[in-house]
Structure 1
Amino acid sequence: IILMCPAPRYSLEQQAEMINQAAVNVIEKSSLLDFKMTAIAKQAGLSVGSLYKYVQTKEDVIMALACDMFEHFHGVATQIYQQPLTMPQKMMSFMLLSPEKSQKYSFDLDLEILATSEPVLRRSSARWKAQMLAFEDKMESLCQSKTRECFESGDYLGDDETEIQQLSVGNWAMSMGFKQIRNHQGFMNEHCQLGKESVICQLSQHSIKAMMHFLNAYPWKHPLTEAGIEETKNSLQQLGLR
């Protein structure tokens, strides 16, 4: 008599989606620092054994969610780059995104910081580190191709293509830095009851001005203007990102 093993109830792709969604639910009820693997398995309706076939450690859970987050952001960036805007407007777009409309998860920024930290990378599985690097390469390739197009089209008036690549790195660094500062101020205001909503509003306005000055320090065919920023905001609203 040949005994046939029963077919699995869910495909590997379905299990991955179930585990990721369960992890999000568990983390939102606890935090990125103290969630339990058993709680994720219970929330997903899977055995702990099935869970550990997908992620072996809590660090793997963080990396798995971060990979989904980076894939989502790649889609957002692709949408922005496809808009009929100048390159300075597209670069400014990343400063103008509404977090609640453009994020994958409510804890995106904390997740990115944690997933790229040395302790998490050291303890995560090789599989997830490889996936993280693949997504970073994918995002870098997108940005490099768009800056090259900008240089070749004449939108950028400089003679050295490396300048616009440097500008792209600066744009990314400033965008991330301002997001972290705004996030910090928001949580301090919420949890410490500072009553500084006006400070957060001013911070956002100052960030936009600072980015505008940074971008316009480079030679563009169409430098960024106040009217151009408003046009960029309207474009993001049409995409549902603001």
Structure 2
Amino acid sequence: MNKKREIQSSVKDESLIEKRRAQMIRGAVTLFKQKGFHRTTTREIAKAAGFSIGTLYEYIRTKEDVLYLVCDSIYDEVHARLESLDIEKGSLEVLVTALEHYYGLIDDMQDEFVVMYQESKSLPKDALQYVLKKELEMVALFERLLTECRESGELKMTPKEIKLAAHHLFVQGQMWAFRRWALRDFTISEFIQTQTNFLLQGMAGEKISTQGAK
């Protein structure tokens, strides 16, 4: 896992830093989605977070720091949702469960995903490289799961096909965040089940039921 980019803070209490930055993230996501990163001021972020601009600068140094925290929080949540899965003993059942966890997270963090992809270009170069590497780590998790399925005989795919399929699995779930306005006829459960069937049907050559997978 890549070492986190250090965000300077004059506060030493780690639990308080985590609490205040979580408040910043929630306030900033709403503002960034409504107004965009560049049109949002740090004073507005502080107000949305529920404290003064002076307090804000005790926990971050720049507006870009807040955007970085938004992006990093997404990948922390992805990792937390998937780390309980036994990816070393990958199977189609584990893969389906991983997709459910990941797509469910996208449902929970729709605004954060939209902000990340719309505004991450505004990050400083080192922060952007960190965020991109974190994304590749998440894709690599799906790649390992698919490789385990191939080695167990459940999937017949070449290494190159697996690499592309891993990116496909990762990106297709994000459709729920970007195209939610056009998918109002679907519940998140229906989206997960239908999308998973579509994806695995193409990889396994047959429809695989996801009913009851948790």
Match of 2:68 among 63, 67, 70: 63
Match of 1:22 among 20, 24, 27: 24
Give the TM-score normalised by the residue count of structure 2. Answer: 0.66
1:230 is matched with which residue? 211
1:149 is matched with which residue? 148
Q: Distance in 1 between matches of 2:60 and 2:79?
A: 23
- Structure 2 counterpart of 1:170, which letter? H
Task: Work out whether residues 56 and 125 of structure 1, in 8 Å CA contact, stay in contact via their aligned partners in 2.
Answer: no
Instruction: Name stretches of at least 5 consecutive residues in structure 1 with no aligned partner.
Output: 1-7, 187-196, 218-222, 236-242
Match of 2:113 among 109, 121, 130: 109
Instruction: Give the CA deviation at 1:164.
Output: 2.4
- Structure 2 counterpart of 1:211, which letter? L
- Secondary structure of 2:154's partner? coil
Task: Work out whether residues 92 and 211 of structure 1, in 8 Å CA contact, stay in contact via their aligned partners in 2.
Answer: no
2:186 is matched with which residue? 200
2:181 is matched with which residue? 184
1:194 is matched with which residue? none
**1:140-197 Cα distance to aligned partner (Å, 9 max, x none):** 3423333333333333344x3333223223333333335533x1225xxxxxxxxxx5
2:201 is matched with which residue? 213
Q: 1:33 to 1:127 in 2, by over 3 A?
A: farther
Q: What is the aligned residue count? A: 198
Q: 1:104 to 1:185 in 2, by over 3 A?
A: closer
**1:113-142 Cα distance to aligned partner (Å, 9 max, x none):** 224xxxx42x32234224313422432342
Q: Does 1:75 align with 2:80?
A: yes
Instruction: Give the CA deviation at 1:68.
Output: 0.7
2:60 is matched with which residue? 54
1:161 is matched with which residue? 159
Q: 1:94 to 1:114 in 2, by over 3 A?
A: farther
Q: 1:224 to 1:131 in 2, by over 3 A?
A: same
Q: Distance in 1 between matches of 2:144 and 2:76?
A: 17
Give the TM-score normalised by the residue count of structure 1. Answer: 0.60
Instruction: Give the CA deviation at 1:230.
Output: 1.1
Instruction: Name stretches of at least 5 consecutive residues in structure 2 with no aligned partner.
Output: 1-9
Aligned CA-pair RMSD: 3.9
**1:94-131 Cα distance to aligned partner (Å, 9 max, x none):** 6645967665645133123224xxxx42x322342243
Q: 1:104 to 1:161 in 2, by over 3 A?
A: same
Q: 1:206 to 1:154 in 2, by over 3 A?
A: closer
- Structure 2 counterpart of 1:54, which letter? I
Q: Distance in 2 between matches of 1:168 and 1:152?
A: 16
Instruction: Give the CA deviation at 1:56.
Output: 1.7
Instruction: Give the CA deviation at 1:72.
Output: 0.6
Q: Distance in 1 between matches of 2:141 and 2:112?
A: 21
2:5 is matched with which residue? none
- Secondary structure of 1:168's partner? helix
**1:40-94 Cα distance to aligned partner (Å, 9 max, x none):** 335364654862872423x44223211111121122233355598732x444446
